[in-house]
């Protein structure tokens, strides 16, 4: 019998799960070669602009495999509809039987992406973080800030809001919190003020240029998850002291690293996977003046880890697993 878990229940369960920890474990397993993740399936739409991603995979020897469908349609907020939609399907790895349907409307994808940003910051952010910079004011522009809470004591944030009409909503989201949010005039101001920057937009042209990035800065790029998107000047990656990806194989067809490869600014041998960084506990991965970049295109092991955790927690709450 399959368990159906709706969005309301998912939101009740998630605070009981250490999402950053399980995502970190998933990345390490991926880079050890213990995860099977086929190439991403996707549909790209032009009018209205949007995309749908199909990601799926399993950890060898685990109990489950996952198939996730998630979409992003960027004009949705103007219609009163969230940009992100989707669901996750969790199956038994031994029998193929459907164990759970997680009707998350894309929420679990958003959370696991924010948690991945926190993992990247845990291992790559400068010390101390003087100011956090965010490009983008959508779901990730908010969640990335929230998930950095346990990673750094810094509470000062500069945010570039691409659509000025969204400024009030962004500020209201953090009203009453201990975050000190300031709205930047442009991405260049974010680069000038911040040494930990997270880019979260669906931009198709570079927002940050090489000459704007100060020594000692770390950038986590999460917006460019298809071949058509780009937020960083390829020369930023070419000039970086360390370039990290969640998946080397995926970086050959999407994301900032793909665009840097295409521009001739970066070569494959100059990148390393985040899971490898996580496992290398004896190495300090940055010096004080280093520029580092982590390009996150989203790997199905993240979906597996969060879907499995929600399902198991829901089963515990019900007294038995379905």
Task: Give residue-wise pLDDT tens across range 75-108.
Answer: 888 888 888 899 999 999 999 999 999 999 999 9
* Same-domain check for residues 19 and 153: no
Mean pLDDT for the stretch of residues 7-35: 98
Average pLDDT, rounded, for the chain: 95
On the question of pLDDT at 312 being above 80, the answer is: yes
Band of residue 318 on the pLDDT scale cut at 50, 70, 90 = low
* Same-domain check for residues 242 and 277: yes
Answer yes or no: is 194 within a domain: yes
* Same-domain check for residues 195 and 233: yes
Task: Give residue-wise pLDDT tens across range 146-188.
Answer: 999 999 999 999 999 999 999 999 999 999 999 999 999 999 9
Percent of the residues in the chain that have a pLDDT greater than 90, as a whole number: 90
DSSP 33: T
Mean pLDDT for the stretch of residues 100-119: 97
* Same-domain check for residues 230 and 263: yes
Bridge partners of 51, per DSSP, are 44, 72
What is the model's pLDDT at position 317?
Answer: 55
Answer yes or no: is 113 within a domain: no
Band of residue 25 on the pLDDT scale cut at 50, 70, 90 = very high
**Where are any strands of DSSP class E within 17-63?**
35-36, 41-46, 49-59
Percent of the residues in the chain that have a pLDDT greater than 70, as a whole number: 98
pTM above 0.75, yes or no: yes
Answer yes or no: is 191 within a domain: yes
Task: Return d(Cα 134, Cα 283) in angstroms, integer.
Answer: 28
Answer yes or no: is 167 within a domain: yes
Q: Torsions phi, psi of 272, nearest 5?
A: -140, 150
Give the domain range for residue 262: 126-299
* Same-domain check for residues 63 and 84: yes
Task: Return d(Cα 226, Cα 230) in angstroms, integer.
Answer: 9
Task: Give residue-wise pLDDT tens across range 179-195.
Answer: 999 999 999 999 999 99
Task: Return d(Cα 201, Cα 189) in angstroms, integer.
Answer: 16
């Amino acid at each position: 019998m399959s368990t159906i878990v709706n969005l309301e229940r998912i939101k009740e369960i998630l605070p009981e799960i250490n999402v950053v920890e399980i995502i970190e474990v998933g990345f390490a397993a991926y880079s050890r070669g213990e995860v099977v993740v086929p190439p991403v399936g996707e549909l790209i739409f032009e009018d209205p602009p949007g995309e749908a991603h199909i990601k799926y995979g399993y950890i060898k020897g685990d109990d489950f495999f996952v198939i996730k469908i998630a979409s992003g349609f960027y004009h949705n907020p103007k219609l009163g509809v969230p940009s992100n939609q989707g669901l996750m399907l969790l199956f038994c790895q031994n029998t193929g039987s459907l164990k759970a349907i997680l009707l998350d409307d894309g929420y679990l994808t958003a959370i696991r992406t924010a948690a991945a940003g926190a993992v990247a910051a845990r291992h790559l952010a400068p010390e101390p973080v003087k100011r956090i910079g965010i490009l983008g004011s959508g779901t990730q522009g908010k969640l990335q800030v929230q998930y950095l809470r346990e990673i750094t004591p810094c509470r000062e944030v500069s945010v570039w809001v691409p659509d000025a009409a969204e400024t009030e909503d962004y500020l209201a989201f953090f009203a009453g919190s201990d975050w000190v949010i300031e709205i930047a005039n442009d991405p260049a101001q974010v680069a000038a003020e911040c040494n930990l920057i997270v880019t979260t937009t669906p931009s198709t042209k570079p927002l940050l240029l090489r000459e704007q990035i100060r020594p000692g800065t770390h950038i986590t790029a999460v917006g460019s998850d298809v071949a058509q998107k780009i937020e960083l000047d390829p020369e930023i990656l070419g000039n970086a002291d360390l370039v990290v990806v969640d998946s080397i194989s995926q970086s050959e067809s999407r994301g900032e690293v793909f665009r840097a490869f295409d521009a001739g600014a970066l070569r494959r041998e100059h990148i390393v996977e985040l899971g490898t960084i996580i496992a290398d506990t004896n190495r300090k991965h940055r010096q004080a003046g280093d520029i580092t970049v982590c390009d996150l295109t989203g790997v199905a092991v993240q979906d597996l880890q969060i879907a499995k955790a929600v399902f198991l927690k829901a089963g515990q709450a019900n007294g038995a697993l379905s």
